[in-house]
Amino acid sequence: MVRRPPSPLPLAVVVGVIALVGLLAYGLASSEPDRGIERALARGERQPPPAFTLPRLGESGKSSLADFRGQVVVLNYWASWCEPCRAESPLLERWQRRLARRNATVVGVNVLDVSSDALSFVREYDLTYPMLRDRDGRTQRALGIVAYPETFVLDRRGWIVATRRGPVDERFLERTVLPLLDERE
């Protein structure tokens, strides 16, 4: 009787499954959002945001966070299809009108959205604060953003002093923004 060599197929299947599990584990570990900002803020440390320049939504030209240095900034990441973003937009616009008199501003960053939908959103809510556009999500990755809306409060030096993962409310804005209005750079 002639013996046939064992089939390499079972070994290949086992190696393939191990490789797939390894890739999935690596993907999950590497896709974790960066929470360094929250850890620093929990220690009482203000954090510099990443430097970036983005196109203005619906306008020519670009802006960077450095353009707003000297102002308190409420930096809000949003998308037109985001229901919580819709809910918080009237509040942000009320705060913009309040902040504009105090050398402070809300800055919106529209992310991974269709330009026409984003512009319709701005018109629908009559938003008057500066709007930037992050077409590819580059800046949101640098800030560890995983969902919308997410908001960062920057002092007059341009450093992050607070963050809100999820919609802002009146209490958050009062607690984080109002004390900064009286600080000097």
Q: Residues of 56-92 as b/e, b for ≥16 C-beta within 10 angstroms?
A: ebeeeeebebeebeebbbbbbbbbbebeebbebbebb
Specify the pLDDT at position 12.
57
69's tokens? 């240095």
Look at the pTM and tell me if it is higher than 0.85. no
Specify the pLDDT at position 42.
83
Confirm if 62 and 55 have CB atoms less than 8 A apart. Answer: yes
Confirm if 105 and 96 have CB atoms less than 8 A apart. Answer: yes
Three-class secondary structure of residue 81 per DSSP: coil
Specify the pLDDT at position 37.
81
Confirm if 137 and 54 have CB atoms less than 8 A apart. Answer: no
Specify the pLDDT at position 71.
97
Confirm if 160 and 49 have CB atoms less than 8 A apart. Answer: yes
Q: Which domains does the chain have, with CATH numbers?
A: 43-181 (3.40.30.10)
Specify the pLDDT at position 110.
97
Question: How many Å separate Cα 20 from the centre of its chain?
Answer: 31
CB atoms within 10 A of CB 130: 18
Residue 133: strand pairing partners = 110
Specify the pLDDT at position 10.
65
Ramachandran quadrant class, 144 (left: phi over 0; alpha: psi -120 to 50; beta: rest)? left
> Of how many residues is the chain composed?
185
pLDDT along the chain (185 residues), means of 10: 66 59 48 68 86 94 95 98 97 97 96 95 97 93 92 96 96 97 79
